[in-house]
Amino acid sequence: MKHIPRKRFGQHFLTDTGILDAIVRAIDPRPDEILVEIGPGMGAMTDPVVERCERLTVIELDRDLAARLRRRPELNVVESDVLKVDFRALAESLGAAPGSGRRLRVIGNLPYNISSPILFHLQDAVDLIEDQHFMLQKEVVDRMAAAPGSKDYGRLSVMLQWRQEVESLIDVPPECFDPPPRVDSAVVRVVPKAVAPALDAALLGELVTVAFSQRRKVLRNTLGRWLEGREGVPDFDLQRRAEEVPVADYIALAAALSPRH
């Protein structure tokens, strides 16, 4: 029985074999690696990936699709909303515990309506993740990978790039999917940095949110007021707009303000 894509789950199934081949080559899955796929759907990406890595954990919310996937012995199926999955616990259950020398490789065609929450959710386990390869709305990928000074550079750019390297790999037009989404898509690679800066991540998030709250104003009018009365504020040019400030400058400011600094 043919599965009908469910709009409430944001289901758009990739059908273009050329694009699929390019994605799998970019991922380069290998035996003995711990791979986790988010939203396997009808298995378009699952099939060529598990063919190479031999064993794959998949996270699927749709119970009908999860039931189909369970029939395959090479798949470990987690039937759940991905935002409710404890990736630290999952990593350890799969042999990627801290100090083990093994880490997760996470892949997937993410539901576009919750792609940013998924990216932030995964940051809680970033030290147990080798890399991530995702299909996302192109607009989101552009924001993830944006450099300072561009119109796409914003809170998402900073909050991902402070701990990870982000690279846009492949542009994917709507006609490559069934049903076609109303937006262009892209494949992105996210690789955690070997050493994460020592700072309070929640404080950085608050700082960056304030900075980008009024993009057209210089930071004196937004971040400057937020900094008033705080101790340990280093020299920081508040005559810039938020989009002109490099990630490293935001990190340095947050590190100076963090209690453990």
Q: Which residues are annotated as a binding site for S-adenosyl-L-methionine?
A: 12, 14, 39, 60, 81, 109
Question: Which amino acids are annotated as binding site, given as ranges?
Answer: 12, 14, 39, 60, 81, 109
SS3 57: strand
Could you say which DSSP state residue 179 is in? S
Q: How far from 103 is each of 54, 125, 132, CA to CA, in Å? A: 17, 10, 11
Q: Which helix (H) or strand (E) holds 88?
A: helix 87-93
- 129 contacts 119 by C-beta, under 8 angstroms: no
Distance (Å, whole) CA 92 – CA 160? 23
Residues 6+ apart with CB under 8 A from 180: 12, 174
Cα angle: 44, vertex 45, 46; to 5 degrees:
95
- Residue that the structure tokens 């991902």 belong to: 160
Q: 57 - beta bridge partners?
A: 36, 76
Residue 110, token pair as written in the block = 């993410």
